[in-house]
Amino acid sequence: MDKKFGAKKTDLPELPRIGDRVSFIYVEHAKINRQDSAITVLDARGTIRIPVAIIGVLLLGPGTDISHRAVELIGDAGTSLIWVGERGVRYYAHGRSLAHSTRFLEKQAALVSNTRSRLAVARKMYQMRFPNEDVSQLTMQQLRGREGARVRRVYREQAKTWQVHWDKREYNPDDYDASTPVNKALSSANVALYGVVHSIIVALGCSPGLGFVHTGHDKSLVYDIADLYKAELTIPIAFQAAAECGEEDDIGRMVRLRVRDAVADGKLMMRIVHDIQYLLDVAPTDEIDIDIIHLWDDKEELVRYGINYSERND
């Protein structure tokens, strides 16, 4: 029972700097195990070995089995685990954060705890929505009014584009089926976006509950960040789905798949990371550079990447 298998636990100074790591690797429909200082990923195509110390965050999608020995190695190497939905569009749980320092969390807490700095961050969020206007002197009430008008305008424009009847955003969280098709689509699309945003927030070591515009909810920051992208992502997807969905179609599933495909290339995830760092006024020396790496699943190819980290064992 005293015999030890595999490589010894890596000392902290031996680990790569976070900037040298591959930040996100997504795996689905595969078995993950450990071999020496690498994890092995087995799927229908074969086995690939990945040195675990190069990984910042390992995203575990549907159909993924991971061994205790692999988790032990991942924890020792300072790598984060996040359990997500298909292609990362839903967040379920996480282990450690990518940023093991508390710098981001402390900065977030300091900014949200001071009325002036909190208002400054909120204004930056609204400025991102109104790039051609100066909102630096507006109150929160004025900002909310402008944002409400902007979102209503986007709804009307999308309804006209896709010829979808639209009254207002109306839904009951406890009775999804009572909503109109387009409101169902909006709810499903937003939930998928929340999952993506939530997984990135926890990967960076920030608190999902410390929001700047939203408050009092354990996902306040998730809602803050997600609102930056709804007008260009979830709202158009929802209205298009409502226009194309038949009576027998599951509009919720249709929308989730479309959001999944829209974020599959990782560009939105990189943008979210950079936007969060901008909002928290993170110094360039503290920024985390994000690359999105996909492994193969047994059904389709995701995004190719030009680096071979290990030999494939056929």
Known binding residue 198? Answer is no
Known binding residue 147? Answer is yes
Instruction: Give the amino acid at 11.
Output: D
Instruction: Give the amino acid at 193.
Output: L
Rg, Å, the chain Cα set: 21
Angle at the Cα of 229 (from 226 to 233), degrees rounded to 5? Answer: 120
C-alpha distances (whole Å) from 66 to each of 28, 39, 80 are 11, 10, 14
Burial class (CB in 10 A: 0-12, 13-18, 19+), 80: buried
CA–CA dist 134, 131 (Å, integer): 8
Inter-residue contact 50 to 84 (CB < 8 Å): no
106: helix, coil or strand?
helix
242: helix, coil or strand?
helix
Polymer length in residues for the chain = 314
Per DSSP, the residues of 175-195 read -GGGS-HHHHHHHHHHHHHHH
Q: Mark the binding-site residues for Mn(2+), compressed into ranges.
A: 147, 214, 227
Write out the binding residues: 147, 214, 227
